Amino acid sequence: MTSNPSPEEQLRAENAELRARLEEAEDTLRAIRSGEVEALVVETADGPQIFTLQGLDAESNRFRGEILAQVSDAVIAVDADQRVTYLNAAAEQRYRVPARDALGRQLSDIYTRRWPHAETEAAMWSALREHGEWRGEIIHRTHDGREIAVEKSVTALRDASGTPAGYVGVFRDITERTRAEDAPRESEHRFRIMADGLPLMIWVHDAQGQLQFVNQTYCEFFGVTPQQVFGPNWHPLVHSEDLAAYEGEFSACVRDRRPFHAEVRVRTFDGEWRWIESRARPRFSASGEFLGMVGSSPDITERKRAEAQLQQYAADLSDADRRKDEFLATLAHELRNPLAPLRNGLHLLKVAGGHAATFEQTRTMMERQIAQMVRLLDDLMDVNRINRGKMHLRKERLPFAAVINSAVEASQPLMEQMGHELTVTLPGQPLMVDADMTRLAQVFLNLLNNAAKYSDREGHIQLNVERQGNDAVVTVKDTGLGIAADDLPRIFEMFTQLVRTLEKSQSGLGIGLTLVKRLVEMHGGSIEAKSEGPGKGSEFVVRLPIVVEATAPKGPSGEEEKPARSSLRILVVDDNREGADSLSMVLRVMGNDARTAYDGQEAVHVAGEFLPDVILLDIGLPKLNGYETCRRIRAQSGHKGVILIAVTGWGQDEDHRRSHAAGFDHHMVKPVDPKVLMNKLATLQTAKT
């Protein structure tokens, strides 16, 4: 089974046939001119005829006309002055001029030549002078505006003395062939112009996979010339870690003649490594021949960076969610821990009877557990206030040693419980700081407690203070569990807990170091964590600015502060009966007349009968909430001077605003420190009198 020839193959076959006929006609013309042929048999319209060839008589002219009329190529003869002496039928048709109008006219009246190169015309005349013949390709421009590509064969006609008497030319029209040959070149030229104008790297590989074209954008991106990257020379542009996979995939696509796609790092003109995304498709000729690959490579560096940021954001979000869940579980655990000893303590108080030692030991334990719960809740509230920019320091000029001593004293119970040895080193000269005593002591207490919790029993903890320039540098170092290198950068992040084991039950909420860092920074300082790794202990270094040439403030008098007393009529309102009753008992012990109510409606009724000086009113009450209870009491007659204090577990700024708007005079957050409450009541009584 044979396939039809392609247009290119058919054109080549026709050209070969025409060339053979032209050569045959040229051989005949040469034989006629040389006198080698005396007669010819020519197939004419009247049948075969015999022509004798004797010079240029009429019969030979007739023969010449009959012979050349059969040739499909244009034949034109001119004399030595370029005047036309003969045109065959093909020439008349091609140049659209009758022979009778052309004879005797200059050849330039029929067509003009457009030489492909300036030296072509000189070469033709030189060949005609030396050899009497010339063959080449030129363009004929006719007088009606057409351009005809011709394959031209010119022979010089000489007289008896050998002087050129004229020329005869045979012109084969090769316009279609030229167009067919030029089409790929023109297409390639258009492609190159288009590719160079694109702001996208374009490249072409041949059928063997060798690079053979790159556009201007490609050259500018890599800072190369096309010749520097042709063939396999583009390999050094690709990152060494990516080259093998990239080149292997591309070779496979060339072999399989399938589309190619890859992302790869490349080095640009300025040495920067950037990402590109290369895509290529196989290209084929009209006959289905594989020609190679054409591809493009946009710069996707920014997209890669955005993807990496999104991935990191997703990872951070997932990590934050995980740490949040761990925090909530830890919060529940830490808040439940004190409840067990508190419950046991209550039972001991019930059964201890008059055993004073047991009673005192139990009371001390319960105070410690309550303080632990309060500390946890305070840490939560403090972090929230700092994050919202609502925490304000009450700074005063303090001896730095007083801050450190306060933290050391508060850490002693835990140190003794764990059996640790604590060494404190202070500088010989006093250092003064502008600080919030409570908050700064909280920083070092947190660091000391962490050192105690994360060290095995009977560990060694060092706290060292020294002056460096205008800074006080505090180092808290332990012999505990240590910190892995990967964890050091995130040690101060919210909810970070590096150790979670059953043995370390006092692990905390994971917010302590976050709070420490924020408080240190609010004091104008900095904190750094160090560790040689797990099992090798930890070291925290705090730097704080000191006050140079400060005057020392007056120290404490050393006298024990006596609890404040008052004698007020106080109504305690709380739906937690035990909480209301116990607070009422404390108030009575301190000299006040106290009564209780357990819901809002009862509070309004009791207030109307009791006419209290102060009402300690919970917000979350049954039957009537604290806000509405406050409004109704304010509306009653006889309560003009009553002081209403909101006592609630809600302590946000918005909660303070709401209670004030409802008519409360003060707002206190549970659990209320009895000393703070007694001092406030004493102040209120002083104001009444």
Give me the mean pLDDT over the 225-250 stretch: 91
Please tell me the predicted confidence (pLDDT) of residue 571: 95
Residues 163 and 209 in one domain: no
Q: Please indicate, yes or no, if residue 530 is contained in any of the structural domains.
A: yes
User: Are both 172 and 202 inside the same structural domain?
Assistant: no
Share of the chain above pLDDT 70, in %: 75
- The answer to whether residues 161 and 206 belong to one domain is no
Query: Which residue is it, tokens 């108080």?
Result: 349
When pLDDT is cut at 50, 70 and 90, the band that residue 163 belongs to is confident
Q: Same structural domain for residues 427 and 461?
A: yes
Over residues 76-109, the pLDDT tens digits come to: 888 888 898 888 888 888 888 888 888 889 888 8
Task: For residues 565 and 553, give the distance between their C-alpha atoms in angstroms, rounded to a whole number.
Answer: 29
328 versus 55: the higher-pLDDT residue is 328
Top pLDDT among 311 and 185 is at 311
**What would the two tokens of residue 601 be?**
């409606």
Q: Is the pLDDT of residue 61 over 60?
A: no
Using a 10 angstrom Cβ sphere, with 0-12 exposed, 13-18 middle and 19 or more buried, the burial of residue 601 is middle
More confident residue, 331 or 686: 686
- Residue 294: which H helix or E strand, with range? strand 290-297
257: phi > 0 → left, psi -120 to 50 → alpha, else beta; which?
left
More confident residue, 329 or 308: 308
Predicted pLDDT of residue 550: 44
User: What percent of the chain has a predicted confidence (pLDDT) above 90?
Assistant: 27
The CATH number of whichever domain residue 270 belongs to comes to 3.30.450.20
Mean pLDDT of the chain: 80
Between 72 and 540, whose confidence is greater? 540
Instruction: Clarify whether residues 24 and 149 are in a common domain.
Output: yes
Please report, in angstroms and rounded to a whole number, the separation of the first and last CA atoms in the chain: 125
Domain check: are 475 and 609 in the same one?
no
Residue 376 lies inside a defined structural domain of this protein: no
Containing structural domain, residue 252: 198-299
CATH code where residue 438 lies: 3.30.565.10
Report the pLDDT averaged over residues 592-621: 92
Residue type, 18: L
In whole angstroms, give the CA distance from residue 85 to residue 225. 57
Assess if residue 347 is contained within a domain: no
Residues 22 and 128 in one domain: yes
Q: 3-state class of 685 per DSSP?
A: helix
In a domain, 38, yes or no: yes
What is the per-residue pLDDT across 580-604, written as a single tens digit (0 to 9) for each? Answer: 888 888 888 888 999 999 999 999 9
Is the CB of residue 148 less than 8 Å from the CB of residue 142? yes
Domain count, the chain: 4
Whether 285 and 214 map to the same domain: the answer is: yes
C-alpha–C-alpha distance, residues 133 and 138, integer Å: 16
Angle between helix 356-387 and 339-351 (nearest 10): 150
The answer on pLDDT for 395 being more than 90 is: no
pTM over 0.85, yes/no: no
Asked if pLDDT for residue 138 goes beyond 70, the answer is yes
Residue (of 577, 565, 638) closest to 602 by Cα position = 577
Nearest in space to 556 (alpha carbons), one of 682, 406, 392, 449: 406
- Is 509 a residue whose pLDDT tops 90? no
- Residue 23 and residue 81 share a domain: yes
Question: Which of 141-145, 280-284, 372-376 is predicted least confidently?
Answer: 372-376
Q: Is 369 within a domain?
A: no
